[in-house]
Structure formats: C-alpha cells, structure tokens
Amino acid sequence: MNILFEKFSLPKEVEAVIYNSPSVIIPESKEVLFELIFGNEYTDRIEVLYEVNGKMVKEADVVRCKNGAAVNYPEDYMRRRDPDSMRIADDLPSDKPRFEDVYGYPFDTLRHETLRWLTRQELILVPFKAGGYQHGYDSVLLCPRNAAFFAFALAQLQAFVEVKNVDHFTPRSVIYAAPPFRHTHFDGKQVCVHRRRADLHEIFAYNLYPGPSAKKGIYSVLLDIGEQEGWVTAHASAARVITPYENEMVMMHEGASGGGKSELLQDVQRAGDGRVLLGVNAQTHEERYISMSDTCTIEPVTDDMAICHPSLQKNNGKLSLADGEDGWFVRVDGITSYGCDPMYEKIAIHTKEPLLFLNIEGFPRATCLPWEHTLDSNGKPCPNPRVIIPRRMIHDIVWSSVDVDVRSFGVRMPPNTAEHPTYGIMGLMHIVPPAVAWLWRLVAPRGYKNPSISGGGALASEGVGSYWPFATGQRVRQANLLLEQIINCPATRYVLIPNQYIGVWKVGFAAEWISREYLARRGGVNMKKDRLVPARCPLVGYALNEMKVDGQHISHEFLQPETQDTLGIKGYDAGAQILYDFFAKELAVYDVEELHPVGKEILECFKRNGSVQEYCDIIPLGLE
C-alpha cells in the first residue's frame, strides 16, 4: 500500500475500503486530478457509465475544452439541486427526514452495501479542508476513478490539500460518492445521506451533481460543527465596497438561492449609452433609466458561505466573517452573450488553468463559452449553468476577515398589481429593525421563479437562515444562534432589497446595485430616522421618503410601490396579507419552549400584528 496513507488517520471503514480496493490514487495536485478525468492527454470526451441491474447507465458526458472540462448530465433533473435530497442516518437531534422513516429499513444495511461497492472500484482519495485553509477542518472525498470530474469539482470548491504538505491528517468529515445507487435504491432521485458523530460527519453522495454534496454537503458539515460549538456559517455573499471618494463599506447579502448573492459582487450593468436601466413597466413597456458617472469598486469577500467563527469577532459591535470556500460555484444564467459580465467572462475564457463548467455546451479542444448554456429537453436554456472559479482568480479578492456594516436580505419578488395582487410589496430598499431582520431569516422566502433548484412553487420557504436545506440539526437551535448573533452585533444594520419586480416594474437586480451604491456613499445605514417612513406592512420595516443617487432622485413609485397607479393601497394591502399569512404559517414551527426569550417576544409582536416601532422596542434600530 502507498506510503502516503501513513500520513492519514482514517476511520476504520475507510481504511478497509482503501486496503481492499484494486487501486487508490491520492492526486498530488489539481493538475494531476484534472488529467485523471480523461485518463490520458489524447482523450477529449468521456462518458461516465455505471452498471445498474445489468445495464450500463450514463450519468454524465465530459468534454475536454481549451479552458477546462465541460460536464453535462443527460437528465434535466440532474442539472440543478433537488431541495429534498437530505436524509439523516443517526440518532442525534434533527428535524430532517430520517433515512429509516423514509425508506423503511436501517441505513446500516445500505451503508455496508455502499462501502462494499466502493471496495470493488478503482478510487480517488482527495484530502481537503472543509471551511477553508484558515478555519477549515480536515476532510476527505472517496469516489470512483471514472468520476474524477466530481473529485476535481470538490478540489476546486474546497481547500484542496496537496499530500506532500500533509504531516498528520485526521478527517472530521468524509464524503463517499456512489452514483449507481441513485437508480438501484432511490428511484433516480438525488439523495445525500448524512451520518453524524461527535467527531466525524459522513456524507454518502448517491449522485454526481456537486450541489447537494461537494458544495452544500460541506456546508452541512460546517453548520453541524457550528451548532455544536455555538456559531453560524451564514448563507451570504459579502463585499468591501469603495466609493469614488475612497470611502469604504462592507456589505453582506443573504437570501435563498437566486436572491442576489452573486449579483452583490457584480458591477452595475449599463445600457449601450452608459445609462443604468432601473426598470421596465411590464404593462406599458416604458423604460426608466438613471445616469451614474462613477460607480463603486467592488472587492469580493464571500460568494455563498460566510464563516462567522467566534475567533473572528471583535469588540466593535459588528459581525465579522471570512469566506468558507476556496472556490465559487458561480451561476452564469445572467451571461447570455459577450459582455454581460466581463469579470467572469474573462476568467472563464482566458483562464491559465483548467476550470469546470456544468450545464454549458462544450466541444473538444474548443473554448467553452459561459453564455452557451445547455438546452433542457423543452428546448430552453438550462436555468442553472455553473462555472467553478477558484478565489485566487477573482480580481481584487479580499483574503482577510471583514467587519460588516450592512446586512441585506434579498427576495425574488413577483409582479404585483391591484388586478392580480401578489406578495410583491417591497420598494427598492427597506431599512428594517433587527427583530424584523431575524424574522426574514427564519422564513427566507425562496421567491419568484427561482432558477437554482428543481421543483417548488412561486412562494416557499428556504428555511431558517436560508441555509436550512443544508442543515442537519434542529431549526430552533439555528434560530437561536442567528438571534444571538444579531443581538451581539448592534452596530451592524439591516436592509431588505427586492429583485425581479417592484410592483409592475421589472427591475432584475438593479435595485440591489443601486442600493449598494446609495448605501456606500452614505457610509452604510447612516441617516436620521426622520428620513424614513413606516411601511404599510410592518414586515418590510421602513420605506425611504426619498433616495438620491449620484444627484438623481429615484421616483416614489419605486420606493413605495403603493403609489403606483396599477397597484394602489388596496392592491398593496392585499399583497401584504398574502405575505403576512405566509409568514404566520412558516413562523409557527418556531413557537416552541426552546426558543430564545427575545425570540418569543418577537413572535408575540408578530402575532398581534405589531408596528415597526414595537419591533424596534424589542431590539433597537440604532438610528436617532
């Protein structure tokens, strides 16, 4: 057996698989791992096949491109994450579905069968740090050699560890990839089974889409450790925003998938003449623009997973965070042609090292273009094309931890009119009391036309923190941790920002970009309270009386949607009731004895339909 294994203190079951497998490769570098995808330098295309009940089933096509590997799945279903993929196979506290309850037999039976199957395969063992090099935890992936693209994806997303740098490696988590079991045991569904112990978190990945396992599965590991130790890994992007006058603000943007986390890190998109499109009226097709001469410089910090570890926190009243990943799973559905997102296009096209593309067309030895999205079976482009981009490739990336001035929460809002009222009642930006900010993080609406997941209706909850689909424990424990975080960081302010629609106006992500510019120029939420007006619906806090960006006033119909002729007060109130009823249904599960005492006060305020000021009385807004 390879002497390299002497550097690892592996669980006994992993050792047994390794010592009985026909071969096990520990890649010395990512470059070596990339070449393992194709087997040799002359192979340009492979099919990832497995025997299922005597027949060969294709799980993926992989093409060697000039700038990396393009991975495509034959099934539409496998091209985005299934939000119902997690199963729990232990006796530790959890509100998630237990494997035995769902399938009617103990997981130990399938676990033994899975390990036995792996024993018969040629394998790849990838060591990495879950959570990044600075605050990460020793972890390993064990997967079939013919799924090397999956191992490469994980090595790009997580902090890959070169074995030559390993002295003593004791995994805190292990991922086992066993793709054919998706067909033999789970009716073709994406399933990831989590088996937790105090010192080891096992993930059994029964599919080859990285989302539920190599990406969100590691998120589950960090949430599990944080739940034990009393800290949170937030579902958030973050950026240091520098104004043209060299003032700085750190903004953190949370929300369900599709809520605008990636967009926080993008430059303001402009029309051909340099103006910024604020919105298009969905009924009249009228376009509204504003002119912006200079915009802020964006220095990215995190894209999706923000570690808020206790060792990072200072005594300045602000939340401190660092990136929990070494690579970003960038959705490029917004890149539909050349020039849509110059930063990511340049990285993807002119990369000096191979990248991994998912749900994007690839042709042998040609450049994989991020706007050539794979077509689904309905003939439409897949809404979830991805490129995995290492952090070090991103221009102006911030390597240190940061202190957060503003925490925003993004929600996909539908069009809203008096004739067809919906929950789309948000203005361009709302200042919210910390207590209301906490409620939004409990409910975390998935929102209108979410592009990142399979299934689901227009309005559904992503769950506590908007990371609940990835958490393995108890929702009330996570709710309490988030509330304690908010209480302990009184100098960080909170805003709500819609995307897609403001009333009848289709805005895309313009509201987020304009709000970012506005807040940065003001040094964060730095304003007198008399500049705000309580919104008609307390759940969206305060609306702005006025907003001026680069010397231009934003129309009231964008700040307070009820002033739109097509919506009005009656339509707004009908939409507010839809939102309130949805919150009432989702918040009921937190109304339990274990909830934090301050949380109980907030829920009581909600149940009596309390005013914005009453929420401020529970946890101060912090504005004069």
Domain assignment present for residue 363? The answer is: no
Co-location of 7 and 118 in the same domain: yes
Instruction: Give the whole-angstrom CA distance, residue 225 versus residue 247.
Output: 36
Co-location of 285 and 154 in the same domain: no
Is the pTM higher than 0.75? The answer reads yes
pLDDT at res. 53: 92
**Across residues 249-263, what is the average pLDDT?**
92
**Across residues 421-437, what is the average pLDDT?**
97
The per-type count for the chain, helices as H runs and strands as E runs, is 16, 30
DSSP state of 169: B
Q: What is the pLDDT of residues 127-165, one digit of tens each?
A: 999 999 888 999 999 999 999 999 999 999 999 999 888
Q: What is the pLDDT of residues 178-187, one digit of tens each?
A: 999 999 999 9
Co-location of 281 and 201 in the same domain: no
Co-location of 220 and 250 in the same domain: no
pLDDT at 543 exceeding the cut of 70: yes
Q: What is the pLDDT of residues 392-402, one digit of tens each?
A: 999 999 999 99
48-to-2, 38, 367, 368, 419 alpha-carbon distances in Å:
27, 10, 22, 20, 51
Co-location of 553 and 599 in the same domain: yes
Domain assignment present for residue 364? The answer is: no
**Across residues 591-613, what is the average pLDDT?**
97
Task: Name every residue whose Cβ is closer than 8 Å to that of residue 498 and which is 6 or more positions away in sequence.
Answer: 410, 411, 412, 413, 424, 426, 427, 428, 507, 511
pLDDT at res. 3: 66
Domain assignment present for residue 307? The answer is: yes
pLDDT at res. 529: 83
Our count of domains for the chain comes to 2
Co-location of 251 and 204 in the same domain: no
Q: List, in sequence order, every residue forming a beta bridge with 495; answer none if it has no partner.
A: 408, 431
Last residue of a domain, one of 229, 248, 279: 229
Q: What is the pLDDT of residues 85-103, one digit of tens each?
A: 999 999 999 999 999 999 9
pLDDT at res. 455: 45
pLDDT at res. 96: 97
Co-location of 210 and 297 in the same domain: no
CATH number at residue 205: 3.40.449.10
Per-residue tokens: 606: 């909600």
pLDDT at 449 exceeding the cut of 80: no
pLDDT at res. 454: 46
Task: Print the domain residue range for 29.
Answer: 3-40+83-229
Domain assignment present for residue 596? The answer is: yes
Co-location of 414 and 275 in the same domain: yes
